[in-house]
Amino acid sequence: MAVDRQAEEQKLIELMIAYQKGDMDAFGGLHEALKRPLIRYLWTFVRNQTVAEDLLQETFLQLHRARQTYTPPRPVRPWIYAITRHVALMHLRTMRRRKEMLPDENLPEIPVPPEMDQLADRATVQRLLGTLPRAAQEVLILHHLLGLSFEEVGQIMGIAPGTAKVRSHRALKKIREHLAEEGA
């Protein structure tokens, strides 16, 4: 698993270096490798498939405009996820200014990290995940679902790795407490 992740990261680094050198196919490779996890991450913010797909395009546009800011051989994912996060936050800020809200029926399923899938049935875990503050959801998704280390989560969110770990621990604890209360 760790070897897979390392190989995957190495592949991303190679694609990113080729892309910086002007290889358009490498951009295609990055898009292909990252679109699914990025859509999942964007869901955490917007909870709407169409908006998440629009934001994914905006993310890749921003990534293209800022491609010189990636410094090889640093890991690619923290760099890309940080840009993605910012695109989502700017979108939310614009929505707040315009006082636009998505109707409830547009709320899609929140992706459930595998660790939590075993805690209860999927619908319950999804409901409880939805009650957590966004920052806690973000840490859980980034670490448990997308497989990023706490150090990488910290780099993406601009927090210390220890803070990311504490947030994840508290979020899991809260979900377990809710489940225990509901079971009682």
Partner 1 sequence: MSLDNIPSGLREAIEKDHRAVRPLHPAWMRAMVAAAILAVVLAFVLANASLRADIDTLPMWLSWGCSALQVVLGVFLLSLALREAVPGNGIPLGTVRLAAATALGVQILVGIATSIFSPAIVMPGSGMAPGIGCLKHEAMMALPTFAVTLLLIFRALPLRAPTAGLLGGAGATVASDGVIHLLCPMANLSHVLVWHTGAVILFMGLGWVIGALWERLRW
Answer for which of 2, 3, 24, 101 binds partner 1 (CB under 8 A) is 24
Residue 130 contacts partner 1 per CB under 8 A: no
Residue 113 contacts partner 1 per CB under 8 A: no
d(C-alpha 100, C-alpha 94), whole Å: 9
Tokens of 100: 């636009």
Token pair 């679902």: residue: 145
Backbone angles phi, psi at 97, to 5 degrees: -65, -40
Answer for which of 7, 25, 50, 123 binds partner 1 (CB under 8 A) is 25
Measured in whole angstroms, how far is the alpha carbon of residue 88 from the centre of its chain? 10
Nearest to 101 by CA among 51, 155, 176, 141: 51
Nearest CB to partner 1, comparing residues 126 and 147: 147
Applying CB under 8 A, which part among 71-79, 96-104, 109-117, 172-180 lies near partner 1? Answer: 71-79
Nearest CB to partner 1, comparing residues 140 and 156: 156
Answer for which of 9, 11, 13, 31 binds partner 1 (CB under 8 A) is 31
d(C-alpha 47, C-alpha 87), whole Å: 14
Residue 71 contacts partner 1 per CB under 8 A: yes
Residue 100 contacts partner 1 per CB under 8 A: no
DSSP notation for 117-178? HTTS-HHHHHHHHHHS-HHHHHHHIIIIIT---HHHHHHHHTS-HHHHHHHHHHHHHHHHHH
CA quadruple 62, 65, 71, 72: dihedral positive or negative? positive
Residue 82 contacts partner 1 per CB under 8 A: yes
Residue 112 CB, nearest approach to partner 1 (Å): 26
Residue 176 contacts partner 1 per CB under 8 A: no
Residue ranges that bind partner 1, judged by CB under 8 A: 20-22, 24-29, 31-32, 57, 60-62, 64-72, 74-75, 78-83, 85-86, 90, 154-160, 163
